[in-house]
Amino acid sequence: MYKVKEKLSPLVREITWSNNLLIMSGTKTDEEKEFYLKVCIKNNYSKRELERKIDSMLFERTMISNDKN
């Protein structure tokens, strides 16, 4: 899936397969995938923590917050 995505391909190598599957199935856009890949790498999220972040719509909340600022 990430082979043709130059930005995403190197990032996916830095996370666990479980987290990769969560991001692939739980996100819609490449921008959202990139966001969760980077956040997951930066914060070393476990599968459970990443799932909580995706379920709580961290990406959407962050984008809304950035738009307000």
In this structure, is residue 1 part of a structural domain?
Answer: no
The number of distinct structural domains making up the chain is: 1
Answer yes or no: is 4 within a domain. no
Question: What span, in angstroms and rounded, lies between the C-alpha atoms of 7 and 54?
Answer: 20
Q: How many helices (H) and strands (E) does the chain have?
A: 5, 0
Distance, in Å, from the CA atom of 24 to the CA atom of 47, rounded to the nearest integer, reads: 13
Residue type, 6: E
What is the maximum alpha-carbon separation in the chain?
A: 35
What range does the domain containing 21 cover?
Answer: 9-68
Answer yes or no: is 3 within a domain: no
Query: pLDDT per position in the chain (69 positions), as tens?
Result: 666 778 888 898 999 999 999 999 999 999 999 999 999 999 999 999 999 999 999 999 999 988 776
